[in-house]
Structures are given as C-alpha cells and as structure tokens.
Amino acid sequence: MTPIDHTVRLSRLGDETLLVTNLADLRWLTGFDTSNGWAVVRGGDVFVGTDGRYGDKARAETAAIGATVIVEQQASRLRARYEELARDLQPDATRIAQLRMVKDDAEIERIEAAATIADRALGEVEPMLHDGLSELDLRAELEYRMMRHGADDRSYPTIVASGPEHGARPHHGASRRALEPGDTLIIDVGALVDGYHSDMTRSWVIGEPSAEQRETYELVALAQQAGLEAVRPGSSSMTVDTACRDVFEEAGRLDEYLHGTGHGVGLDIHEPPFHNQWSDVTLEAGMVVTVEPGLYRGGFGGFRIEDLVLVTASGQRPLTHSPKRELN
C-alpha cells in the first residue's frame, strides 16, 4: 500500500502550536498508534509522550517526522513533562478533525481495501441466509471471512438484527436467536485495514416477503438513492439527510426513521461530517461518508441500506459494491 506521509500532514499545520490528546488524531498526525500518548507541536518541533510499554514503538513510528519521544514509566512524571511542554495550551479537538475530513490517496486506498474485504465476506455468507442459522452464527462467519481476506480486525461488532423485534433496533448487535421464515434481516458489517474502517449495511427477508415488506424495502431503497444523489461537493451534510427524510415524510413514515443519514469514516468508524438536521458541514472532494437511511418498527422489524462513498469533483463514487437485491 501507498505509505502515509506524515510530514505532509504536519506541514498543513504551518506555524500552529497544538496539543493533541485524541488518540486517532495522534495517529493521523504523527503515525504513532497507541493506547496512551499525546503530542505537542510547538515552534516547528514535535514532542510525543508515552509510557514504557510503547517507547520503542513510538520512536519507530515517529522517526520519519523527527519527533522527540518522551518515555516515562511513572504516570506522574509523564504528566509533569506533559504540563511542561503544553503550558498555556488546551487540546484542540476540532483543528485536526477538520483536516481529517478530507482523505488523501493513501487513506482512500486503505478504506477502499477494507470495503472490498467486507464485500467479499458478505458475498460468501449471503447464501447462508436461511432459517435455522442464528444471528451469532452469521456474525462469526462474516468476521472470520473478513480476517481470511486480509482484514486486521472487524471495524466494529458486526450487527445482525433479525425478526420483528431485533430488526426494529438499528444497533441490535447479534444474539442466539435463529432466523425464521418471514423475518426481516439487517446486516451491518465493516472491516479494518491498517487502522482505517469500512461500513456497509444490506437487508433481506427470509423466505417469501409480504407486500408490506416489499413496500417498506422499496421505500428505503428510494430514500437511499435520493441521499446518494445529494452527495456532491458544495452540498451540505444537512442536504443529504433532508433528501432521505423527504422521501419518508412524503410516505407518512418519517416517525419510523430513528437515526441520522450518515457520517464520515476513516481512523474512526464515526467521524465528521455527520449527515443530520444540525450539520452545517459543506461536502468536499476527498471526504468519505456513508448514506444509510432505514425504517424500523416493533412487531415488523426493519430495513437499512448503507453504502460508503467517496465524494468526488463531480459527485460521488461508491466504495462498497455488494448487490442491493430487490425483494421478489
């Protein structure tokens, strides 16, 4: 894969003085991936602090940017060094988050690789979607196959939500409930590659769908298409959300839409921009976002269709390619 050039990222900060405590921001800026660390950028110099578990790792992963690595075994001494270097600074959670929204080519390559892996795993598991198999069985199969195809990990605990109650919970997870004929089924799956996530959702009916299930699925598909068409540079995240909501509102079913329409994806599975009615972010080429409308109702179940797309100069390019099958 294309190496990530962290010196370019540091150059985008110019002469800014910055304190970085968010671990995803730390990795994005310096290349150091850890569970305990911070960075101070001051006067063109970069200082990275961590404890003894990660000293060698920090030195290796920040060598390219010439960081001064501070390693202290005692938490109190590490804190003292932190306070010395970070005098008069407050962590800036927005500055790097703004920079991270627009992905470079190396980041897009990793996200697309993760999406391809999830596509392949789901393609292999889809023939298994029949009654008798449990939600946990399906989750295990998907996560095992993603690892076999090259994922470092799952992007998040795979969601497998079936039936009239579990299917009505957008983030149900997975249980020992076995699939039954007539169930709605939602699978939300993503892979992790070199720290970068993918995200995708597909929905089915086990066996012969009812007229109501067909109508609901088609409505979700229509809303998702409207949302995808709204993804373009210069558009806003709110516009994407509104495009999906308008479809549901016209059908009189907006009360069954229980979440926002999407989010950015990168080193975090949920990161800016967020498609909702409170977002004022303007989409730019290089952003990677989801579009994921859904309808849910207890006693019925639910459907969600989600794709991961790259905002391009002329619109968007899908990074997820698993078929969105029509209900027969």
Domain definitions of the chain by residue range: 6-100, 105-318
C-alpha dist (Å) from residue 186 to 42, 65, 112, 189, 309: 48, 44, 22, 10, 20
For every residue of 247-312, DSSP letters joined together read HHHHTT-GGG--S-SEEE-SSSSSEEEEESTT--PBP-TTBEEEE--EEEETTTEEEE-BEEEEE-
H helices, E strands: number in the chain: 10, 17
> Which tokens go with 34?
């850890």
Nearest to 59 by CA among 28, 95, 34: 34
Please tell me the class of the 6-100 domain: alpha beta
116-132 tens-digit pLDDT: 999 999 999 999 998 89
Q: Is the pLDDT of residue 325 over 90?
A: no
| Mean pLDDT, the chain, whole residue set | 96
β-pairing verdict for 200-205 and 196-197: unpaired
Q: Is the pLDDT of residue 328 over 70?
A: no
What's 21's DSSP letter?
A: -
175-226 tens-digit pLDDT: 999 999 999 999 999 999 999 999 999 999 999 999 999 999 999 999 999 9
Region of residue 132 (left: phi > 0; alpha: psi -120 to 50; beta: else) = left
Q: What is the pLDDT of residue 206?
A: 96
For every residue of 50-92, DSSP letters joined together read E-GGGHHHHHHHHGGGTPEEEE-SSHHHHHHHHHHHTTT----
What's 236's DSSP letter?
A: B
37-74 tens-digit pLDDT: 999 998 889 999 999 999 999 999 999 999 999 999 98
Do the domains 6-100 and 105-318 sit in the same CATH topology, yes or no?
Answer: no
SS3 203: strand
- Chosen CATH of 105-318 out of 3.20.20.70, 3.90.230.10, 2.60.120.560, 3.30.310.220: 3.90.230.10
pTM value? 0.96
